[in-house]
Amino acid sequence: MINSFNNYLKQGKAKRKTPDLEEAKALLKQAQERIIYIKHNKITTTTAKFILEDAYEAIRESAQALMSIKGFKPYSHEATISFIQDHHKEFNKQETNLLNHFRVLRNNSIYRAQPILEQDAIQALELAKQFTKKTQRIILRNTAVASCDAFSS
Domain coordinates of the chain in residue numbers?
A: 5-146
- Contact call for residues 24 and 139 (beta carbons, < 8 A): yes
Helix (H, G, I), strand (E, B) or coil at 72: strand
**Residue 135 one-letter amino acid:** T
pTM of the model: 0.91
Q: What is the pLDDT along the chain (153 residues), one digit of tens a residue?
A: 899 999 999 999 999 999 999 999 999 999 999 999 999 999 999 999 999 999 999 999 999 999 999 999 999 999 999 999 999 999 999 999 999 999 999 999 999 999 999 999 999 999 999 999 999 999 998 876 554 444 344
CATH class of 5-146: mainly alpha
Residues making up the chain, counted from first to last:
153
Q: How many Cβ atoms from other residues are within 10 Å of residue 51's Cβ?
A: 24
Q: Phi first, then psi: give them for residue 15, nearest 5 degrees.
A: -135, 155
- Contact call for residues 70 and 17 (beta carbons, < 8 A): no
